[in-house]
Amino acid sequence: MRYNKKGALELSITAIVILIIAITILGLGIGFIKKQFGAGTELVGGKLTEIKEQMKEDIRHSGELLVLSMPETELSIGKPQDVLIGVKNTLSNPNAPPDKVCYWIEVRCLNAFSRGNFCTPDGQNDVVVGGVDIANNDYPQNNWFSSLLSQFDIRKYDAEVYPATMLVRDAQPDRYVLEMNLYRDASSGSCSQIGEFPSDAQLYASKTFTINVK
């Protein structure tokens, strides 16, 4: 049997050419996908900034002190949900510049809709599930937030919007009534002047909302 060297050489060259073309197309495809994903990320980031700024302006011109924005009120256990929390400061710090007032966020789970179901696996209702547990000067044991700025300063007569992420891990599937409470120190001092927890916190604003955990 005679071995056709010319045919084998042509086959090898053809295979190399096909491989080079495939690598080139793959590289172009990866570059295109990266470009598209990069543009998408910039769009999402820009859109989020736009929403926050619009929400801030709305709060400044409204009578609301505490605003909660949730794209979805239905949460899957273990799946994060981004939310925005808007706060308007109507107070002035009388102590020293910069003129900022410190606030604390507390989120309580009041109760579940279904009889016999509770906010915690050990059968408790009306418990803190996010932010700062003001009564106990501590953070909640059953935290329904993976990201939440519990303490923050806001300049006098100004408004701010803060992003947060809800992440329910241990609750039973049900509908829950939650309450978000906004506290301030009686002296209207800044966070650096007061410390981590207020000594005599006063309720500044409160908002009740429901979520459906599935």
Higher pLDDT: 210 or 27? It is: 210
Angstrom distance (rounded) from CA 116 to CA 109: 15
Chain centroid, CA 163 distance in Å = 5
> How many alpha carbons lie under 13 Å from residue 159 in its C-beta half-sphere?
22
Residues 109-116 have a mean pLDDT of 93
What is the per-residue pLDDT across 71-107, written as a single tens digit (0 to 9) for each?
678 889 999 999 999 999 998 887 766 788 999 999 9
Strand partners, 104: 151, 183
Mean pLDDT of the chain: 82
What is the per-residue pLDDT across 5-24, written as a single tens digit (0 to 9) for each?
555 555 567 767 677 777 77
Q: What is the token pair recorded at 4?
A: 């056709």
Indicate the pTM of the whole model: 0.74
Residue 201 near residue 185, CB atoms below 8 Å: yes
Q: Smallest Cα–Cα separation from 182: which of 143, 157, 148, 147?
A: 148
What is the per-residue pLDDT across 156-204, written as a single tens digit (0 to 9) for each?
889 999 999 999 988 899 999 999 999 998 888 888 888 777 778 899 9
Query: Strand, coil or helix: what is 4?
Result: coil
Residue 176: count of CB within 10 angstroms of its CB: 25
